Amino acid sequence: MRYYPINLDIAGRDCVVVGGGAVAERKVETLLDAGAAVTVISPQLTPVLAHLAANSTICWQQRVWQVGDLSACFLAICATNDEAVNAAAAAEARQAGALVNVVDTPALCDFTLPALVSRSDLLITVSTGGASPILARRIREQIEQLYGDDFGNYLAELAAVREQMKHCLATPADREQFWRTALDAAAIELVHQGKVGEAKEKIRSAVSGTWTQS
Ligand SMILES: C[C@@]1(CC(=O)O)c2cc3[nH]c(cc4nc(cc5[nH]c(cc(n2)[C@H]1CCC(=O)O)[C@@](C)(CC(=O)O)[C@@H]5CCC(=O)O)C(CC(=O)O)=C4CCC(=O)O)c(CCC(=O)O)c3CC(=O)O
Ligand SMILES: NC(=O)C1=CN([C@@H]2O[C@H](COP(=O)(O)OP(=O)(O)OC[C@H]3O[C@@H](n4cnc5c(N)ncnc54)[C@H](O)[C@@H]3O)[C@@H](O)[C@H]2O)C=CC1
């Protein structure tokens, strides 16, 4: 395994993207989805980024990167089309202790970005260790077909029931036993078939069975 996967909480953290082209746009959208405070430094922006700047969803510094721009951010993405600028900006950010991604140079990255399938709190990510991003994209497209929005909806129910079971069942071992029995392959198959209501009902009856026993 080339990379160590983690889920980073960047809500409200200062994240800076240098460059405002198509690649920067994709990275900015993911940062915003995760609640980051995003600044883009670039003389030009794509129409989508320009719209985000116009309504203050992102902060835009309309100029080229300058020394000092990345001295205080939590995370930096260097996404210009100029390899030397990306490398210099990355060096500054790393020196300042930020996590760094350089879109044209995997060797300079502290982290790389996976392809994403996001269904509410369900997040499925695909990486190829930088070997073939297009393969990651193709696999993401396949997974999107397999795991639709119903899974996000079902997950919200599971989270609620899980909280309830923390009070209802005394020990971690009891709770583990409950979930291994209640959330079987058949329950997941119901969600695949679009029968979310039935899948939720199955969990609720497992809960009432547990209440009856205790
Ligand atoms: C290392 C990494 C660094 C990083 O960006 O984090 C990186 C690096 C590079 N990408 C390049 C090219 C392309 N990247 C894509 C697409 C995606 N690239 C993404 C991630 C990553 N790309 C990281 C590794 C991920 C992994 O491990 O698999 C995805 C998954 C996530 C995202 O960007 O958010 C997103 C798909 C999202 C989706 O659709 O779900 C496409 C296809 C397309 O755009 O449709 C192409 C063109 C086809 C091709 O070249 O394969 C080039 C060469 C540039 C050149 O030739 O000039 C480099 C530089 C190099 O490899 O040296
Ligand atoms: N990691 C990935 O997912 C991918 C990476 N790439 C690489 O990403 C890079 C960017 O690609 P695109 O967005 O398509 O390029 P682009 O040409 O559309 O955009 C480049 C952006 O950088 C800005 N820029 C240029 N010099 C700058 C400077 N000194 N300071 C601040 N901003 C500056 C430009 O104004 C423009 O907004 C390319 O090097 C490409 O090889 C390409 C495809 C995917």
Q: What ligand 2 atom has the least distance to the C-alpha of 20?
A: 37
Strand-pairing partners, residue 14, are 37
Do 105 and 120 have their domain in common? no
Q: Which residue, of 66, 97, 113, is where some domain finishes?
A: 113
- pLDDT at position 212: 59
Do 47 and 81 have their domain in common? yes
| Entry pTM | 0.95
- pLDDT at position 213: 60
Indicate the helix (H) or strand (E) that contains 15. Answer: strand 14-18
Q: Number of folded domains in the chain? A: 3
Confirm if 6 and 68 have CB atoms less than 8 A apart. no
159 token code pair = 């989270």
Phi, psi of 165 (to 5 degrees): -70, -25
Do 94 and 12 have their domain in common? yes
Whether ligand 2 lies within 6 angstroms of the CB of 43 is answered as yes
Strand-pairing partners, residue 38, are 15
Cβ-Cβ contacts under 8 Å for 117 (sequence gap 6 or more): 123, 124, 125, 140, 143, 144, 147
Q: What gap in Å lies between CA 20 and CA 33, rounded to an integer?
A: 18
Residue whose CA is closest, atom 4 of ligand 2? 103
Do 42 and 77 have their domain in common? yes
- In DSSP notation, 193-204 reads TT-HHHHHHHHH
Q: By residue range, what is the domain housing residue 143?
A: 114-148
Domain CATH for 92: 3.40.50.720
Q: Give the ipTM of the model, two decimals please.
A: 0.97
Do 107 and 47 have their domain in common? yes
Confirm if 12 and 36 have CB atoms less than 8 A apart. yes
Indicate which ligand has the atom closest to the C-alpha of 132: 1
C-alpha 130 – ligand 1 centre gap (Å): 7
Q: Are strands 115-119 and 122-126 parallel, antiparallel or unpaired?
A: antiparallel
Do 58 and 163 have their domain in common? no
- pLDDT at position 211: 64
- pLDDT at position 168: 87
Do 132 and 193 have their domain in common? no
Do 93 and 22 have their domain in common? yes
Domain CATH for 134: 3.30.160
For residue 97, give the DSSP letter. T
Phi, psi of 182 (to 5 degrees): -70, -40
Do 43 and 130 have their domain in common? no
C-alpha 25 – ligand 2 centre gap (Å): 10
Do 16 and 101 have their domain in common? yes
C-alpha 79 – ligand 2 centre gap (Å): 5
For residue 63, give Cα distances in angstroms to 18, 38, 59. Answer: 10, 16, 12
Q: What gap in Å lies between CA 25 and CA 94, rounded to an integer?
A: 22
Q: pLDDT digit of tens for each residue in the chain (214 aa)?
A: 999 999 999 999 999 999 999 999 999 999 999 999 999 999 999 999 999 999 999 999 999 999 999 999 999 999 999 999 999 999 999 999 999 999 999 999 999 999 999 999 999 999 999 999 999 999 999 999 999 999 999 999 999 999 988 888 889 999 999 999 889 999 999 999 999 999 999 998 888 887 656 5
- pLDDT at position 208: 83
Whether ligand 2 lies within 6 angstroms of the CB of 174 is answered as no
Do 99 and 197 have their domain in common? no
Dihedral sign for Cα 179, 183, 185, 188, please.
negative
- pLDDT at position 89: 98
Indicate which ligand has the atom closest to the C-alpha of 19: 2
C-beta neighbour count of 29 within 10 angstroms: 14
Do 89 and 125 have their domain in common? no
- pLDDT at position 22: 98
